[in-house]
Amino acid sequence: MKITGLRSFMTCDRDRPRVLVAIDTDEGITGWGECYNHGPDKALIPLLDYLFLQIVGEDPRRIERIMLKLLQQARFPPGALGLAAHSAIDHALWDISAKALGVPVYQLLGGAVRDRVRVYLGVYSAPDPLEVRDFCAAQQELYGLTAFKMSPYRIDPNSAPWGKVLTATADWVAVLHAACPDYEFAYDAHAKLYEPWQAVQLGQVLGQFHPLFYEEPMRPENIDAWGALKAQLTVPLATGESLYNRWEFLRLLQAKGADIVQPDICAVGGITEMRRIAALADAFYVNVAPHNPMGPLATAVNLHFCAALTNFKILEYRLPKGASYHSDGMGGSDSADYVVDPYLPKDGYLDLRPDRPGWGVEIDEAYLKTDRYVHWERKLPVRPDGSTGYV
């Protein structure tokens, strides 16, 4: 079998741009993958065209060889865009390899160690605690979800006195947990804090309520600072969405900087690199909760990775556009999307599809033929003195 073509598609998932990749073979098997959207997302298309020249004619089932070749051909370590492109190519190679054998991808990863994969849903606004309760109850009714992630900030930490930020968080979370005793909440501080002592104090406030985890309160660059942070906390500390390879995660683990690591399968180079990161974490008794704010194809890729992962914690999940519930856990949509049959939760879990090869989903190529690019960029907060803060 040989690689004969690479086709990339610019599309969207709600308000976010997405870049999907199809790799074609001379045996008529096509594999699919998804890039991370760091921005500038349109730059991924010519980059993928360039990388195709390095893999055309290769046997797509020699995944390790091809991914190593891409890394070696780059000479210097690839950056965010390069690894996003590598990730999608890696996904597609695993998809082809599994389809060639007529099995799900997780069978190639050693087989499933679990029958289903637990997921949590993000609640991205800052509503009243009773509104959160009603939202969670609705998601539990539809999908059986009992785990959710929220921002810990009730007022802007860039403009309000820090004491007020902590008090507002403590008061709000206390009411929330009293109103929602049957749900688990994680809190994503989104690397907005520059000073480690603030990350410590916020974590101490949240720790009183025993959250599922406390995610990325400060910037990821100084790994030693994460070791010092974790040493002062009792709340489970999670991070890793901004790290890119096994060596960065190894340094984090050696510094004892996380209880849970969160690599992104669309950002680190795909399943091939994710498996190495997970193996390192396992040696340090650290679980993996993959970062997954992406589209329904990325969720399918993550599902197979998590199904075969021994040190799995929980998977981040984003409901597909127009999602509707089917009692068998199969996808449906009230409006067209590029994945015809996305994985939808049932009883709070994503069920495996053992009778469907590859990722177990169908891609609507006709939908992808229309360029649906939407511009998206991060909006920086502005402090009272006019300087900008982290998002």
Q: Which of 86, 91, 291, 304 is catalytic?
A: 291
Closest CA to 99 of 362, 305, 364, 295: 362
326 is catalytic: no
* Distance (Å) of CA 357 to CA 1, 106, 107, 148, 233: 17, 10, 10, 30, 44
Is the distance from CB of 289 to CB of 118 less than 8 angstroms?
no
291 is catalytic: yes
Is the distance from CB of 93 to CB of 66 less than 8 angstroms?
yes
Q: Which of 190, 210, 326, 375 is catalytic?
A: 190
Residues involved in catalysis: 190, 291
